[in-house]
Amino acid sequence: QKEVEQDPGPLSVPEGAIVSLNCTYSNSAFQYFMWYRQYSRKGPELLMYTYSSGNKEDGRFTAQVDKSSKYISLFIRDSQPSDSATYLCAMRENTGNQFYFGTGTSLTVIP
Amino acid sequence: IAGITQAPTSQILAAGRRMTLRCTQDMRHNAMYWYRQDLGLGLRLIHYSNTAGTTGKGEVPDGYSVSRANTDDFPLTLASAVPSQTSVYFCASRRDRSSYNEQFFGPGTRLTVL
């Protein structure tokens, strides 16, 4: 079993829809949780990060962490065609060098 | 230079050949990383360096070596390439390994080993 599981999709939604992206994990020591966006043929770029449990909102994006269920989510409100990309979740223990990434979910927002 | 640069952008390589992927950052970050990204497997850590002069092994280090002679450069070498090393390689850096700080990624190198 991989440390981090993420549904690869693909996910296709109409413009303006609410998108929900999710990851589950097995390591209870993970403390830092991140979402990256990766456009085609580009490197990942950080979108959101949270420490431990809770919610964090940034514009149209909301990240949620439920450590009791080992489950994290990213919500995108009023989705735009420019949101079309692959979204990667990542997480890390409090100490240590390794970031553990999900396989990524491919999202297409149709105008 | 702004951020992280990688070279080459893409490469086709014959099996058995030696290849060095270059990575340079201008942010004076202490920690640097090499990942490979494969369909269905996501990003996997190959090697890392917490500071100049030190390196460590990640999840998939076999067949790869790195060096960190200075803060800015972190080359990845494939001593004798094999087809299973066909992948997209990303270099990343962050200020240091303590607490939280953002990991920045380069644009990637697409490597095909035939």
The residues, ordered by sequence, that sit 6+ positions from A95 with a Cβ below 8 Å of its Cβ are none
Chain B neighbors of A42, CB-CB under 8 A: 107-108
What are A57's strand-pairing partners?
A62
Q: How many CB pairs under 8 A join A and B?
A: 51
Q: Do A98 and B59 touch (CB under 8 A)?
A: yes
Q: Do A103 and B45 touch (CB under 8 A)?
A: no
What are B34's strand-pairing partners?
B47, B91
B2: confidence class by pLDDT, cuts 50, 70, 90: confident
For A42, name the nearest residue in chain B, comparing CA atoms only.
B107
Chain B neighbors of A101, CB-CB under 8 A: 42-44
CB A20 within 8 A of CB A36: no
A110 pLDDT exceeds 90?
Answer: yes
> Which DSSP string do the residues of B33-55 spell out, in sequence order?
EEEEEETTTEEEEEEEESSTT--
Predicted local distance difference test score (pLDDT) of residue B1: 52
Q: Per-residue pLDDT averaged across A23-51, rounded?
A: 93
Q: Which of A23, A27, A99 to mutate to test the interface with B (most CBs of B within 10 A)?
A: A99
- Residue spans of beta strands (DSSP E) within B1-114: 4-7, 10-13, 19-25, 31-38, 42-49, 56-57, 64-66, 76-78, 87-94, 104-105, 109-113
A54: confidence class by pLDDT, cuts 50, 70, 90: confident
Q: Per-residue pLDDT averaged across B24-48, rounded?
A: 93
Q: Per-residue pLDDT averaged across A22-37, rounded?
A: 94
B97 pLDDT exceeds 70?
Answer: no
| Rounded-to-10 torsion of CA A33, A88, A24, A48 | 30
What are A85's strand-pairing partners?
A107
A44 pLDDT exceeds 80?
Answer: yes
Q: Do A99 and B41 touch (CB under 8 A)?
A: no
User: In whole angstroms, what is the distance from residue B35 CA to residue B46 CA?
Assistant: 5
B48 pLDDT exceeds 90?
Answer: yes
Which of helix, strand or coil describes residue A50? strand
Cα–Cα–Cα angle for B27, B29, B33, nearest 5°? 115
B102: confidence class by pLDDT, cuts 50, 70, 90: confident
